[in-house]
Structure 1
């Protein structure tokens, strides 16, 4: 059996700086999103979303619709339940 030499990863200062800047950007976006959600409340609805969409089932349906996921209904078994 052939074995290869272990792979070596090098972490550079530029990589650390890039990571820190991306982390700060994501935290800023998260804070901004939280402020918008807390300030606006539930008065802003996305297109096709109704007031009743606060239930977990309908939220899942909305998310599935956004990502294009269409679950197939359960198929009946041919030989009955065993």
Structure 2
């Protein structure tokens, strides 16, 4: 297993379960806030809060805010699983 994958797993493991679920559904799988709210049975506004918290934890070691959007996250995940 590559060092990048271990790093990814370590960062994901630090995120609390609810935040992790919202983060993966949005940033990795591409679901919309409304869809995530329905899946998780939470308010739409809570989805954004959970995603923000998860990104803060995931990217805590990276000061480059440009990495916090969906596209870099998805490309990183695809690179790891390809």
Identify whether the pair has TM-score above 0.5, normalized to the shorter chain.
no
* Structure of higher RCO (CA pairs closer than 8 Å, 6+ residues apart): 2
Q: Which has the higher helix share?
A: 2
What TM-score do you get using the length of structure 1 for normalisation? 0.26
